[in-house]
Each structure stands twice: as structure tokens, then as C-alpha cells.
Amino acid sequence: MAIREIISPENPILRKKAQRVTDFKDPKLQTLIEDMAETLEEAVGVGLAAPQVAISQRIIVVQLPDDEESREEYGADAGVLHVVINPEIARASDNMVSGVEACLSIPGLFGSVDRHDAITIKGQDRHGKPIRIKTRGWLARVFQHEIDHLDGILYVDRAKRIWKAEEMAE
């Protein structure tokens, strides 16, 4: 396993639509997933898409924090590593919620983004087996943010307002 470099918007891969994964037997796929999980942990983030590590494939890893406060707030979702390949939003609530987002590829900025409060994702696990995940709240927001990355969309494209980290402290 290895920590991968997280690219910035200057790299055109971040703005391209990622390609579907079709070969689940390729050992490079499993290595990439492990590297992405390790990179996410090292970066202290909650989600990472393969294009963020310069790989144009439809792979995301998502993991909410696993501390006492997070377990209280997110219950069984806290600390669970979700690996979803070829994810799609199968259902989305009509209810939209505004929330603050940031991105490992755009350090130092925050933005206010409207997202669906609840979604159902369909995709495949790391071995190609079909999966469905129903979620709401922050976890739903993280999944939507990461799926956007697979389509070359950054949260700043959707943000109603963007500000620098130092303004957040004020």
C-alpha cells in the first residue's frame, strides 16, 4: 500500500468524466483501492475519488470519522469504509439541504452547496458484486460530492458561496 498524491484542478484528469471499471480481477484495482483508503486516512478526509489521485476510473472510497462524538452522531455509519465502484445515484430525495463542503483537491477553501438530503446509491463492491446503499445527512452529502468527481464536477462548481479557510475561523 502507498500514499498517492492528491491532484489539484490544474490537472485535467480532475475535470474529465472517469471511465467505468470492467475488470475486477485486475490486481491493480485492489492495490488502487487500498492506496486510496490509505491516502484518505493520511489526508484526514471523509471521501476520495480515483480522479483525485490521477486515475480516471469510477471508484470512490468514503469513510466518516470513528471517534466517540461521530459514533453518537452517525451511529453505525461511523468508521465504516465504503468502497463503491461505478456508483450511480438511483434515487434522491426532493428535499435539498445546504451545507459546508471542502475538498482534498482544493485545500484552503470552503463552500456552501445544496445537496439531496437522502439518496440511494447503486454500484459494485471491490469484487464486482452489485451493492445498494441508502443514506441521508452528511454521508449522503459525501457520496454526492465524490460521485460528482467522477463526472469532472467540483463542489466549487455547485457552491452558492465560496470562502477561504481563514474566513471560516473568523
User: What does the mean pLDDT of the chain come to?
Assistant: 95
Domain that holds residue 136: 12-169
Please give the Cα distance from 70 to 89 (Å, whole number).
Answer: 25
Q: Looking at residues 95-108, what average pLDDT do you find? A: 97
pTM over the 0.85 mark: yes
Chain segment 109-149, per-residue pLDDT in tens: 999 999 999 999 999 999 999 999 999 999 999 999 999 99
Which residue of the set 5, 72, 146, 167 is catalytic?
146
Residue 126 lies in a domain: yes
Residue 160 lies in a domain: yes
The question of whether 88 is a catalytic residue gets the answer: no
Beta strands in 68-169 (DSSP E): 82-92, 96-101, 109-116, 118-124, 130-136, 161-164
34 burial level (CB within 10 Å; 0-12, 13-18, 19+): middle
CATH classification of the domain holding 92: 3.90.45.10
Q: What are phi and psi of 30, to 5 degrees?
A: -65, -40
Please give the Cα distance from 169 to 71 (Å, whole number).
Answer: 25
| Residue 72 pLDDT level (bands cut at 50, 70, 90) | confident
Characterize 117-134 residue by residue with b for buried, 16 or more Cβ atoms within 10 angstroms of its Cβ, and e for exposed: bbbbbebbebeeeeeebe
Q: 10 Å Cβ neighbour count for 37?
A: 16
| Residue 169 pLDDT level (bands cut at 50, 70, 90) | low
Residue 119 lies in a domain: yes
Structural domains of the chain, count: 1
Residue 54 lies in a domain: yes
| Residue 71 pLDDT level (bands cut at 50, 70, 90) | confident
pLDDT of residue 92: 98
Residue 6 lies in a domain: no
3-class DSSP state for residue 76? helix
CA 50 to chain centre: 9
Rg (CA), the chain: 15
